[in-house]
């Protein structure tokens, strides 16, 4: 009897990690769910960022969102992204990219966590880990669940473990004022 209950909990927990926690999303087909979640991000980006902050380079902002969500729970450097987009011919300043990151945090699409260090300078200059506010958003930007699970099996720290870590951080976000990640050598 307990095994059935535990299996049910595992099934629903796995569903939550795969599909996310937005209301009404779990009942949709995979295609509808991915499309709906991508539309959620599009609406937030347009209404909460483009309109409010008068962002003119919408294409670059969307690319930035795409890169951040596809690489969620990874260290992300504005400098690295800056080099990437300028090598593609985009004209953008680093300050603009820092603003985009701030806008995305304010709109609750992502949140960034700095690396733990005693140095104030290093705190500002080391890459931050970027987390999506919902696992469903990550999956929507990975395009398919099969790619998600292939990536999870290949990586040392699976995306499943990263999803659990992200959910812990979200649950304790308000209580943990100073959140950091620790990089071991």
What is the per-residue pLDDT across 92-119, written as a single tens digit (0 to 9) for each? 999 999 999 999 999 999 988 887 777 7
| Every domain of the chain and the residues it spans | 26-171
What tokens does 74 get? 């990874």
The CATH architecture of the domain made up of 26-171 is Orthogonal Bundle (1.10)
Which two three-digit tokens encode residue 161? 């473990």
Q: Give exposure, 169-180, as e/b (b: 16+ Cβ within 10 Å).
A: bbeeeeeeeebe
The model's pLDDT over 61-71, given as tens digits with 9 standing for 90+, comes to 999 999 999 88
Query: Tokens 């909990």, residue?
Result: 9
Q: Side by side, which strands form the sheet with 74-76?
A: 74-76, 128-132, 110-113
Give the predicted TM-score (pTM) of the model.
0.76
């Amino acid at each position: 009897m307990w095994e059935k209950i535990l299996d049910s909990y595992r099934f629903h927990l796995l569903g939550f990690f795969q599909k996310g926690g937005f209301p009404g999303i779990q009942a949709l087909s995979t295609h509808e769910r991915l499309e709906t979640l991508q539309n959620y991000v599009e609406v937030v980006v347009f209404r909460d960022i483009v309109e409010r902050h008068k962002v003119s380079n919408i294409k670059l902002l969307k690319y930035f969102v795409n890169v951040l969500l596809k690489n969620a729970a990874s260290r992300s450097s504005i400098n690295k992204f800056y080099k990437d987009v300028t090598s593609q011919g985009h004209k953008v300043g680093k300050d603009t990219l820092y603003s985009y990151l701030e806008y995305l945090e304010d709109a609750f699409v992502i949140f960034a966590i700095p690396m733990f260090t005693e140095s104030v300078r290093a705190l500002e200059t080391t890459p931050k880990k970027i987390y999506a506010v919902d696992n469903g958003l990550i999956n929507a930007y990975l395009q398919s669940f099969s790619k998600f699970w292939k990536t999870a099996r290949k990586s040392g720290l699976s995306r499943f473990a990263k999803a659990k870590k992200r959910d812990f951080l979200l649950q304790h976000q308000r209580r943990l004022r100073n959140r950091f990640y620790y990089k071991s050598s």
